[in-house]
Amino acid sequence: MVTPVVTAAAKANPTYKIVATGHSLGGAVAALLGAILRNDGNIVDIVREVLLCNYRTSTYNFKYTFGQPHVGNADINNYIQNQAPTQGNNYRATHTTDVVPQLPEYDWAPGWYHYYPEFWVDTDTVPVPANDITVVTGSLYETGGNEGDINYFTGIAAQSLYFGAISSCSSDPPTS
């Protein structure tokens, strides 16, 4: 089992930070693993995608995050969301119309949601300008970012761009 190994490593290295991260289905697994590690008394940042970007505001300071499908119903997402920030922060990044974070479709599984905040990259520009990242806050089903109408043709292509077109960001501060 992974949790005893991570907990032991954290105790042996108290200055290290635990980050659960993954891409696509791995992002959903990272969210659930992070919640379990938090239950074991660890401080864990849950990060869905690795977005190598120095995006900073007075509220958020991160250098990582990826696109995951819905992990479950309102109960699990509220549980993960309510663990933050005392047990670690949650970061969920999505890219334009990426179809995977929209699955299963809300109409197919009306009780399945995401936790927040969502860092929505709404560009294919390289490097990603900080002002093309929208921070979507809320709870459960929010359509201000990646959620909404699914377009399988553009959405499949957007899933592959996390490690390509948006794998680096501008170091320039936001203009807005």
Residues annotated as catalytic are: 24, 98
Give the closest residue to 165 by CA, choosing from 121, 99, 103: 121
The H-or-E segment that residue 46 falls in is strand 44-48
Q: Which helix (H) or strand (E) holds 10?
A: helix 2-12
Distance CA 72, CA 3 (A): 21
Q: Which two tokens stand for residue 81?
A: 């969301």
Alpha-carbon dihedral of residues 146, 124, 166, 94, nearest 10 degrees?
A: 0
Please give the C-alpha separations between residue 15 and each of 4, 10, 49, 174, in angstroms, as whole numbers: 18, 8, 23, 31
- In three-state form (DSSP H/G/I as H, E/B as E, the rest C), the secondary structure along 116-158 is CCEEEECCCCCCECHHHEEEECCCCCCCCCCCCCCCHHHHHHH
